[in-house]
A and B are shown apart, each in its own frame.
Chain A
Amino acid sequence: MTTPDLSVSLCGIFLRNPLVLASGILGTSAELLERVARCGAGAVTSKSCGPTPRAGHPNPTVLAWGHGLINAVGLSNPGADEEARILRDAKARLAPLGVPLIASIFAETVQGFGEVARKVAEAAPDFIEVNISCPNVEAEFGRPFAADARDAAAVTAVVRRAVSLPVIVKLSPNVPDIAAIARAVESEGADAISAINTLGPGMVIDTDSGKPILANRTGGVSGPAIRPIAVRCVYDVSRAVRVPVIGIGGVACGRDAAEMIMAGATAVGIGTAVYDRGPEVFAAIAEELLAFMATHGYTAVSQMRGLAHDD
């Protein structure tokens, strides 16, 4: 029997395996991005960066509440200029390892996305991921751009014009029809879609004091608890568009990764599992996915892709 091949192509770029470090997990420095690559990730994503430095929210910002994490880090980041320097360093460290770099960006305004994208693109990452699922935005009532198909499309169009790199748009699960948003960003030139960002917002209350524990009171929920929702979102999105999907949300083991791929994902993002199993989780899940494929007779990842779809 031939050993299964874990490699995938994402927008024509080679990934030795489909496992991608999700944005906001350990992606704060070139050294940490390199470490995660050495731990076996197929690609790594930097923490979302905006136009100017932000301190983020006071602590507590992240809690392990029993079935995953809840976080309100508040998009702390060093600003696009400093981020470009980090990304350049990261790119140099990742290149010899053959691990692509995804640079994640956010902004408060549609035009802002274009400016951050241009700055970050100078560092020559392999992809730009556009995080339109953050709460600090210009749209009315502070809704994320991902909440509205027109806003999501407008951001995509601006970034598309700003850079020649492949553009990934990261969607929020907190919408009634994620497929509609996916179609809108595809029509404006998104080369790939990642789904999903955190679910919620949620809240954890300390019953001794009666106070919400997160300093921001509410935060995004991630980890095993959201996996069924993430799988459904990836299923809906991959049926609605032709571009590849990075399936993210609660993936903790090889079987979970296979499930995401069967829902239609080309690559699989991993965030919260780094908390449960350490940065070594990437090699471990790759190993488990390999064993899963061998057991079920799959020789290529593409043989599992979209199996859950009827047609």
Chain B
Amino acid sequence: MTIDLPTAFRIRHLRDESPTVRTFILDGALHAEPGQFVMVWIPRVNEKPFSLVDDAPITLTIARVGPFTEAAHWLREGDRLWVRGPYGRGFAPLPRPAVLVGGGYGAAPLAFLARRLRAQGVEVSVALGAKCARDLVLVERFQAAGCAVHPATEDGSLGHRGLATDVAARLLDKHPDAALYACGPEAMLERLARLCREWGTPGQFSMERLMKCGLGVCGSCDYGGLLVCRDGPVFSAEQVLGA
């Protein structure tokens, strides 16, 4: 069931992931697929899309990047957030080893996916990229779900020095029958999509575009004729390279 009018939930728990990223655990649940998103409303501020890190309880990981996310970070435990959704098409978990690649808060939908895959008994390796060690988010969540986490930091402060895409290529080399799932900056996703095409790896990529309605009518999330809010946010390698 999709909730189409913003509905109030209380913040039950806040958790700082990094100096600029905070996880919000709300006092209610939705029924969602990993990769689906919700529209989050703060009255008189704005309404913006965020991936679900979990659907029961509703869990969001929000990076402070501008006015709306700033306002969200002012909220305290016990305060309210309004949520409508879930919207969009999420990941389709495949019954084969999984390589997850997350850049920045792109880890958010992957953490949800990791739990689903593990529940199906799938082996999950995660390449997480960030500028430096303290910017890595949701690592414990992946570990608690039983995933092998391989960090990559640009300054080399933790794990591989360099990009998550390098780590991903190594993981795919080790698991030639794997499926790849990724969310993060567009350059990273395009690079991974090309890799998938070359290697014949099934790939699923969560994309972002400016969203207004989230309902597939306003056209603001146009992605070469595809609607990120309704046809996506998860797309195949061919869709990413074709759009």
B64 smallest CB distance to A (angstroms): 18
Give bound CA distance, A26 to B225, whole Å. 9
Chain A 27-69 interface 0/1 with B at a Cβ cutoff of 8 Å (1 = within): 1110110110000000000010000000010111111111001
Q: Which one of A100-108, A161-169, A272-280 is at the interface?
A: A272-280
Kindly list chain B residues whose C-beta atoms are within 8 Å of the C-beta of A293: none
A29-B222, A64-B4 are known contacts. Are A213 and B41 too (CB-CB below 8 A)? yes
A207 smallest CB distance to B (angstroms): 9
Q: Which one of B42-50, B127-135, B158-166 is at the interface?
A: B42-50
A31-B224, A211-B44, A215-B46 are known contacts. Are A64 and B215 too (CB-CB below 8 A)? yes
A62-B212, A206-B82, A278-B216 are known contacts. Are A31 and B41 too (CB-CB below 8 A)? no
B42 smallest CB distance to A (angstroms): 10
Kindly list chain B residues whose C-beta atoms are within 8 Å of the C-beta of A69: 215, 217
B210 smallest CB distance to A (angstroms): 10
Cβ-based interface call for A95 (8 A) = no
B49 smallest CB distance to A (angstroms): 9
Cβ-based interface call for A73 (8 A) = yes
B230 smallest CB distance to A (angstroms): 7
Instruction: Tell me how many residues of B have a C-beta within 8 Å of chain A.
Output: 27
Which of chain A's residues has its CB closest to B211's CB?
A59
By the criterion CB–CB under 8 Å, are B43 and A211 in contact?
Answer: yes
A47-B219, A59-B46, A215-B46 are known contacts. Are A209 and B8 too (CB-CB below 8 A)? yes
Cβ-based interface call for B80 (8 A) = yes
Kindly list chain B residues whose C-beta atoms are within 8 Å of the C-beta of A206: 5-6, 8, 43, 82
A65-B5, A206-B5, A209-B8 are known contacts. Are A60 and B47 too (CB-CB below 8 A)? yes
By the criterion CB–CB under 8 Å, are A63 and B5 in contact?
Answer: yes
Chain B 9-23 interface 0/1 with A at a Cβ cutoff of 8 Å (1 = within): 000000000000000
B3 smallest CB distance to A (angstroms): 10
Cβ-based interface call for B92 (8 A) = no
B9 smallest CB distance to A (angstroms): 10
Kindly list chain B residues whose C-beta atoms are within 8 Å of the C-beta of A245: none
B221 smallest CB distance to A (angstroms): 9
By the criterion CB–CB under 8 Å, are B43 and A275 in contact?
Answer: no
Which of chain B's residues has its CB closest to A56's CB?
B212
Query: Which residue in B4, B47, B224, B230 is a CB contact (below 8 Å) of A59?
Result: B47
Residues of chain A touching chain B, judged by Cβ–Cβ distance below 8 Å, are 24-29, 31-32, 34-35, 47, 56, 58-66, 69, 71, 73, 76, 204, 206, 208-209, 211, 213, 215, 271-272, 274-275, 278-279
27 A-B interface contacts by CB (under 8 A):
A25-B217, A26-B216, A28-B218, A28-B219, A28-B220, A31-B222, A31-B225, A32-B227, A58-B46, A59-B39, A59-B47, A63-B5, A65-B5, A71-B213, A73-B212, A76-B212, A76-B220, A206-B5, A206-B6, A209-B43, A209-B82, A211-B43, A211-B44, A215-B47, A272-B217, A274-B216, A275-B215
